[in-house]
Amino acid sequence: MVRVVHSAGLHCLSGYIVQVEADISDGMPGMELVGFLGSEVKEARERVRMAIRNSDVSLPVRRITLNLSPANIRKYGTGFDLPMAVAILKAMECVDGELTEDAVFFGELNLSGTICAINGVLPLVLCARQAGFHKCFVPKENANEAAIVQDIEVYPAGSLKELIAHLNRETMILRMKQNKEHFANEGNGDDTYDLKYVQGQPFARRGLEIAAAGLHNIILVGEPGAGKSMLSKCLPSILPPLTLDECLEVSSIYSVAGELRGDKSLLVNRPFVSPHHTVTDVALIGGGAYPKAGLAALAHKGVLFLDEMPEFKREALECLRQPLEDGEIRISRNNGSFRYPADFMLVGAMNLCPCGAYPDRSRCSCTQSQRKRYLDRLSKPLLDRIDICIEVKNLQYAQLSENIIQEDSKTVRKRVEMAKQIQFERFGEAKFNASMSREEIGQYCFLSQTGETIMERAFHKYNLSARGYYRILKVARTIADLGNSRDIGDEHLIEALHFRYTDLLNGIGK
């Protein structure tokens, strides 16, 4: 007779419910698995059999057939071990079926019957709740993560033996409490990087604040050792925290990538992803026959920091153009199209020439063509998506030793959060100025008469493109928000013009 247990599988970041059917019948003894299974799912046959046997249940010498439906979607991942085992036990009538109703099971088994952690528990449980299930059995290690989801009972299962006892109402597994403490967590972790340690750099500090307030893409240029990386690493300390929905979205991505384990069950701070410059395009945007999320997706709603930007492979950088425009990554394979959200803020750091000392000509001997070649590694279309460009200058000894107390990140963050509030109220959703559409720019970025004159002059003087023109308006809007001003004033516009991305080759070839 057929017994059914429910589980769920992952497609990109969303789950779908899977029915695991088990049937025990006469025939050649053995175990048959069907349902378009990936190789790790097929291997479950041995794991499940040994786990059941090592949980003091002997399998019948009969033919066991397992089917995972829907059978037209390829199943992968190790989370199906547990539901398969439970389905077999149910078919054997070793466990009482009642408690398995209205429940979903996830977990990998090892030969001794222990239940091991799997990736992607958060989106799986979210999917189960959406499908109307009220209970879920998850590996102990993933329990914290699963407990974030509201309105579903989470049971952490340590081993198959424990689970059998629970299902037979012998020893009950304690339900996990709703995991709420993480929401209250306001801290932003690392305080080794705080703006109070940054001496001088008035322009860079201000530029960073504007970028954080509107989540604008930003490039920092300057000499080696001037503090570009330091400033960028301070960014998380001034970024506004994630909203609840954003938390779940970002945590889901990390869950699928297997980066949520133990205490780290929910991300409340914006992620800060900083790949090495040898990163490949596939690692950056994701890939594989069944594409996995790349680093760009892991930076969703946060920061993708590219230190020494011209040293990155050109293909890798060019891959970022599409997510920068659409806020998501689409990868097409012959078995379907995969989408990962990738709405990140790009932060780049770079020198102005290969040796880094330009424009100090007493130390820099790079020729114009060397500089041009160096800067040309960044393509125009990519740079066209940079809203803000700031210079980080090497400090003089006097400035370093002065020890003036600088504004700390907390104070800056307050202003940033105020600007965030204004933006959220204006758009009626969690959206930042950087992702304003053309219509919204028309709606919210009015210029005064004098502002129009300035803009017109700047348009001709700087040879702005249409995209460049809108970008300046977006940044001006953020600056006005930081100043709590309803309209974009001339001073806001002028400041935005100052921070615009300029051609770093300015002056070459003239």
Quote the least distance from Cβ 360 to other proteins, whole Å.
9
Using CB under 8 A as the binding rule, the residues of this chain from 324 to 353 that contact other proteins are: 352
Please identify which residue in 132, 151, 202, 439 interacts with other proteins, judged by CB under 8 A. Answer: 202
Is 498 an interacting residue with respect to other proteins (CB under 8 A)? yes
3-state SS record for 398-441: HHHHHCCCCCCHHHHHHHHHHHHHHHHHHHCCCCCHHHCCHHHH
Is 203 an interacting residue with respect to other proteins (CB under 8 A)? yes
Contact assessment for residue 339 and residue 329, using Cβ atoms and an 8 Å cutoff: yes
| Residue partners of 300: CB distance under 8 A and separation at least 6 | 249, 250, 253, 271, 340, 341, 342, 343, 344
Q: Toward other proteins, which CB reaches closer, 24 or 213?
A: 213
Integer Cα distance of 328 and 340 in angstroms: 6
Q: Toward other proteins, which CB reaches closer, 86 or 390?
A: 390
29: left (phi > 0), else alpha (psi -120 to 50), else beta? beta
Q: Toward other proteins, which CB reaches closer, 36 or 469?
A: 469
Please identify which residue in 39, 72, 463, 506 interacts with other proteins, judged by CB under 8 A. Answer: 506
Quote the least distance from Cβ 234 to other proteins, whole Å.
18
Size of residue set near other proteins by CB under 8 A: 32
Q: 25 exposed, middle or buried (CB, 10 Å; 0-12, 13-18, 19+)? A: exposed
Q: What is the DSSP letter of 93?
A: T
Is 231 an interacting residue with respect to other proteins (CB under 8 A)? no
Please identify which residue in 18, 22, 57, 497 interacts with other proteins, judged by CB under 8 A. Answer: 497
Each residue 351-380 as x (binds other proteins by CB under 8 A) or -, in order, gives -x-----xx-xx----xx------------
Q: Toward other proteins, which CB reaches closer, 112 or 379?
A: 379
Q: Toward other proteins, which CB reaches closer, 103 or 389?
A: 389
Q: Toward other proteins, which CB reaches closer, 122 or 479?
A: 479
Is 507 an interacting residue with respect to other proteins (CB under 8 A)? yes
Is 260 an interacting residue with respect to other proteins (CB under 8 A)? no
Is 461 an interacting residue with respect to other proteins (CB under 8 A)? yes
Using CB under 8 A as the binding rule, the residues of this chain from 415 to 454 that contact other proteins are: 454
Contact assessment for residue 490 and residue 428, using Cβ atoms and an 8 Å cutoff: no
Quote the least distance from Cβ 183 to other proteins, whole Å.
37
**Minimal CA–CA distance to 350: which of 236, 506, 211, 218?**
218
Integer Cα distance of 468 and 385 in angstroms: 8
> What count of Cα atoms within 13 Å lies in the side-chain half-sphere of residue 175?
9
Amino acid letter, residue 279: V
Helix axes 228-238, 409-427, angle to 10 degrees: 60
Contact assessment for residue 371 and residue 352, using Cβ atoms and an 8 Å cutoff: yes
The first and second tokens of residue 10, run together, are 């992952």
Q: Toward other proteins, which CB reaches closer, 367 or 421?
A: 367
Is 188 an interacting residue with respect to other proteins (CB under 8 A)? no
**Minimal CA–CA distance to 90: which of 167, 12, 157?**
167
Please identify which residue in 221, 247, 253, 488 interacts with other proteins, judged by CB under 8 A. Answer: 221
Long-range CB contact pairs, 322-326, < 8 A, 24+ = 323/285, 323/296, 324/217, 324/382, 324/385, 325/385
Q: Toward other proteins, which CB reaches closer, 62 or 385?
A: 385
Please identify which residue in 152, 268, 296, 458 interacts with other proteins, judged by CB under 8 A. Answer: 458
Quote the least distance from Cβ 293 to other proteins, whole Å.
33
Q: Per residue in 55-79, is it b (16+ CB within 10 Å) or e — as a string? A: bebebeeeebbbbbeeeebbbbbbb
Q: Toward other proteins, which CB reaches closer, 403 or 506?
A: 506
Residues that bind other proteins (CB under 8 A): 200-203, 206, 221-222, 352, 358-359, 361-362, 367-368, 389-391, 393, 454, 457-458, 461, 491, 494-495, 497-498, 502, 504, 506-507, 509
